[in-house]
Amino acid sequence: MSDDLEPISPREAVDLYVAHRELEVSKKTLQNHKYRLDSFVEWCEEADLENLNDLTGRDLHRFRVWRQQDVNLVTLRGQLATLRVFLEFCASIDAVEQGMRERVKLPEVDRGEEARDAMLDQDRAHAILSYLERYKRASREHVIVAILWHTGIRLGGLRAIDLDDYEPDDQCVWLRHRPKMETPLKNKEPAERPLALDDYYCDVVDEYIRFHRHDVVDEHGREPLITSDRGRLSSGQIRSTVYQLTQPCLYDDCPHDRDPEDCEARFYGHYSECPSSLSPHTIRRGSITYQLREDVPEEIVSDRCDVSSEILDHHYDRRTDREKMEQRRKFIADL
């Protein structure tokens, strides 16, 4: 530890950092940073690290190992990127040694490996929806992410929805299998079902229909719910929209040390080149996991999302064994 450092607790340092960034970033971004750094403070308390002056590169590695037990690789990378920015600030106020930022090693994300397990987690989903609510409320982009997250349906299901499939009075939307008109459902007729929507999501869809939906028909004479000015949105257009909206720099700092103004991934046709961008299927996986974590019974999630119990457990449920245990505890506490 350098003699030039001034003693400070991790919590006090985080508080100073949050106050420092308050005028520079949005309220939501500030909340995200505080949430991420709270986990670092929690680790410091568990490790009995009371003075940030004593922080070492080995400590940072231990924190990374501790944190990666509970989050996926993309989320871990984002949290460590925020930690790097925080440590740069700490160095400027003589709380840690200069260069401590560089000791935080960001994990490399292999897109092939990521695709198998990646999901849009709750915090990131809510950050995206908050951004859309504030800057693009009831836009086509807002409706795409809102419905995918709220219902957990597949991309093909979203694309298949017609204007008449939405029933605002009953607050639901129907999924219907129409293969002859190029909007099949993966599991065909058995997958046809109504999906309940809550008040907020109905308000968003209602406003989209009134003000932003193009009044068009597709090549089969049907009125799609999600439209371009030429008709029904293609699968590729929906996928591209999701890639764009899951780029962290849209609502937070870039976790890859890139300048958003110069990053090629910010331009149409290149959205998927951002290492942190996600596919529509990761929204489905994240939505299903979120519903399970909120104690929605597995059989209800299975019916709502059109997925068997076996597939649900093997491919979609990303709860840890400890999370499952704690949820079971709620039901046996009074036995």
Read off the pLDDT of residues 212-256 as tens digits, 9 standing for 90 and up. Answer: 999 999 999 999 999 999 999 999 999 999 999 999 888 888 877
Q: Give the model confidence (pLDDT) of 115-124 as tens digits.
A: 456 789 888 9
For the segment(s) 10-108, the CATH number from 2.60.120.10, 3.40.640.10, 1.10.150.130, 1.20.120.420 is: 1.10.150.130
Q: Give the C-alpha separation, 254 to 84, whole Å.
A: 12
Say what the pTM is: 0.67
Burial class (CB in 10 A: 0-12, 13-18, 19+), 119: buried
Q: Is the separation of the CB atoms in 88 and 94 below 8 Å?
A: no
Tell me if residue 14 falls in helix, strand or coil: helix
Both tokens of 182, joined, read 């190029």
CATH 1.10.443.10 spans which residues of the chain? 122-273
What pLDDT tens digit does each residue of the chain (335 aa) get?
A: 556 899 999 999 999 999 998 887 767 678 888 888 999 999 999 999 999 999 999 999 999 999 988 887 777 888 898 899 999 999 999 999 998 998 998 887 555 444 456 789 888 999 999 999 999 999 999 999 999 999 999 999 999 999 999 999 999 999 999 999 999 998 899 999 999 999 999 999 999 999 999 999 999 999 999 999 999 999 999 999 999 999 988 888 887 777 777 888 888 888 988 888 999 999 999 999 899 888 888 889 999 999 888 777 766 776 777 777 777 777 676 55
Q: Which residue has the tokens 């979120």?
A: 290
CB 253 within 8 A of CB 263: no
Q: Can you tell me the distance from the alpha carbon of 335 to that of 323, in angstroms, rounded to the nearest whole number?
A: 20
130-138, long-range: CB < 8 A, 24+ apart: 130/28, 130/251, 131/28, 131/250, 131/251, 132/245, 134/28, 137/204, 137/207, 138/204, 138/205, 138/207, 138/208, 138/211, 138/212
C-alpha 100/C-alpha 116 separation (Å) is: 33
Residue type, 78: G
DSSP state of 237: H
Q: Where in the chain is the domain with CATH 1.10.150.130?
A: 10-108
CATH architecture of residue range(s) 122-273: Orthogonal Bundle (1.10)
